[in-house]
Each structure stands twice: as structure tokens, then as C-alpha cells.
Amino acid sequence: MLYFIGLGLGDAKDITVRGLELVKQCDRVYLEHYTSILTCGKEELEKFYQRDIILADREMVEQDAEEIMKDAETKEVAFLVVGDPFGATTHADLVLRAKEKGIPHKVVHNASIMNAIACTGLQLYNFGETVSLPFWTDSWKPDSFYSKILKNRECGYHSLCLLDIKVKEQSEENLVRGRKIFEPPRFMTTAQAAQQLLEIVENKPKSDSGIQLRADSLVVCVARVGADDQKIVTCTLQQATQEDLGGPLHSLVIPGELHYLEKDALNLWKSNS
């Protein structure tokens, strides 16, 4: 059996009781380690679960999935995912591969940023398509996500922006040269995301509908949702470029049309800067 087990948003104890029971009975336990992170480390998980954990990086999950599914027809294998198991398309692909091989699987769901973002006071059913903001480089500055944000705004929907993380990534030079040298982990902040968005806003022509972002558009910056030091700040896009919310993980919300209760909620988090 191959188990896909959600770990929730925060520390080791956010796993469900059912999930913990399954982890303790499994022969092998993998932790997906590139689409998101917990506020605790692998060692703390191992101590709480009383099990050894194998880190599954992008290369293993996307190119060596056979190793994860090895012997899962006859043994118990757990694949742990921060948040909910289906918070990333990669994990759905693993399910499809398992089904093709005739490997039975079960899923244990948990909280993820996709539903916990309601902590801002914005109603979940008023959110449109979720978008991902990648780190820019000097020569690569994609902005396709911006049209999705505008489309959400045209419909009056809020946009949840998931911010890029880089874990066990190679530089372009090391990648070209085939050198297994990895860059230090990087996690995009709301300030960096806002700066990139601001650059797009300043350089993009107005949409046909006239719906666009501006420097004074309202945004909501969130950090470490579900942790004891969770932080939420409501401010303008321009102000967000200067907001320091501390350590990862960060997300950015761009509100659409606001119900009066949503307005009251966002006022709770208003920045003083």
C-alpha cells in the first residue's frame, strides 16, 4: 500500500491521528521536500514519529518515482506532504503512476494554505484561480501569472499567490556542466513578490476592461500560516515592498470585490507603515 499523508501547515504535531498511526506502521517513510516546508526539521519529525525519514527531493519525485513505489505492492510505504497531499500536481502524477502499476493507495488529507488562507478573513468561495510567482533572474522575468490575476479581478475574485521556493537547486552553470553542486535554500518573501508585481504593473499596458493593479492597490501579506508566530499585514502593493514578515513561508493575496465583513477583517491587519 502507498499512503499519501498530509502533514498540515506547521510543526510535527499537525499530522492527523490517522496519519500518525499509518506512519508508525509503514516500512518506509518519505518526506516530499521541494514544494513546501514545515516550520520544523526532519530530525524533529523523526523524533515525534519515532521513524527514520527519507527526504524526497524534486529529482527523486519527478525522475526516480520508481524508488518510492518500490515493493509497495507487498509493503507499506508512506509519502508525506506538507499541507495536503494534492496541493501540488506532482503528487497527483504519483497516484496515476501507482494506479498504472496496480499499486493500491490511500490518501490522508490535512489543512493546506489553500484553505487556511481564510485566516485573513477573506471568504474561500470568493477566491479565483491560484497563481504561482517564480523568482526572476536578470535574463528571465516571466509574467504570465499577471493575466490570471487580472482575470480574477475582472470576476471580482481574490487571488492567492503562492511564492517560489528553491530547495536543492543548481545554478545554470553547474546544471550545464553537470556538477552536483546545489545553491543554498531560498524562499520568496512578500516584499520580493510585491516588487516583481510592481515592476509588471509599471510596464504593462492597461487591460481592455480597465481592470488592473496599481501601486496603491490593496494586498494582504501572510507568513507562516498555522504557526504560533503567524503574521498577516494588509497594505498597498507599494507598501508591501517594504514589509518584513520574517522567515518563510510567505504568501500574497490580492483581494477582489470585498464583502463588508471581509473589509472589516482586513482592517484588523492594516499596516501602520
Whether residue 120 sits in one domain with residue 242: yes
Residue whose C-alpha cell reads 485566516 in the numeric block: 119
Q: Which of 167, 126, 163 is nearest to 145 (CA)?
A: 163
Residue 93 maps to a domain: yes
Position 273 confidence tier, pLDDT thresholds 50, 70, 90:
low
> Average pLDDT over the chain, rounded to whole?
89
Provide the CATH number for the domain around residue 169: 3.30.950.10
Average pLDDT over residues 60-89: 86
Position 175 confidence tier, pLDDT thresholds 50, 70, 90:
low
Average pLDDT over residues 232-247: 96
Question: Does the pLDDT of residue 22 top 90, yes or no?
Answer: yes
pLDDT per residue as tens digits for the range 177-235:
666 666 677 899 999 999 999 999 988 766 666 678 999 999 999 999 998 899 999 99
Residue 176 maps to a domain: yes
pLDDT of 179: 65
Q: Give how many domains the chain has, as a whole number.
A: 2
pLDDT of 207: 62
Whether residue 184 sits in one domain with residue 237: yes
Question: Does the pLDDT of residue 174 top 60, yes or no?
Answer: no
In angstroms, the CA 253 to CA 219 distance is 6
Residue 273 maps to a domain: no
pLDDT of 64: 78
pLDDT of 210: 63
Whether residue 232 sits in one domain with residue 136: yes
Provide the CATH number for the domain around residue 13: 3.40.1010.10
Whether residue 232 sits in one domain with residue 98: no
User: Where among 53, 86, 111 does a domain terminate?
Assistant: 111
Question: Angle CA(129)–CA(36)–CA(229) in degrees, nearest 5?
Answer: 95
Whether residue 187 sits in one domain with residue 150: yes
This prediction has a pTM of 0.89
Q: Could you tell me which residue, 266 or 59, shows the higher pLDDT? A: 266
User: Where among 68, 94, 111 does a domain terminate?
Assistant: 111
Whether residue 133 sits in one domain with residue 107: no
User: Where among 111, 137, 169 does a domain terminate?
Assistant: 111
pLDDT of 24: 95
pLDDT per residue as tens digits for the range 98-137:
899 899 999 999 999 999 999 999 999 999 999 999 999 8
- Tell me which residue range forms the domain holding 24: 2-111
pLDDT of 209: 61
pLDDT of 170: 57
Q: Which of 19-23, 58-62, 80-84 comes out lowest in average pLDDT?
A: 58-62
Total Cβ atoms within 10 A of residue 152: 23
pLDDT of 60: 80
Residue 257 maps to a domain: yes
Whether residue 242 sits in one domain with residue 136: yes
Whether residue 75 sits in one domain with residue 122: no
Residues 219, 255 contacting (CB under 8 angstroms): yes
Average pLDDT over residues 35-52: 83
118's grid cell: 481564510
Whether residue 256 sits in one domain with residue 121: yes
Whether residue 264 sits in one domain with residue 141: yes
Show Cβ contacts of residue 139 under 8 Å, excluding neighbours closer than 6 positions.
Answer: none
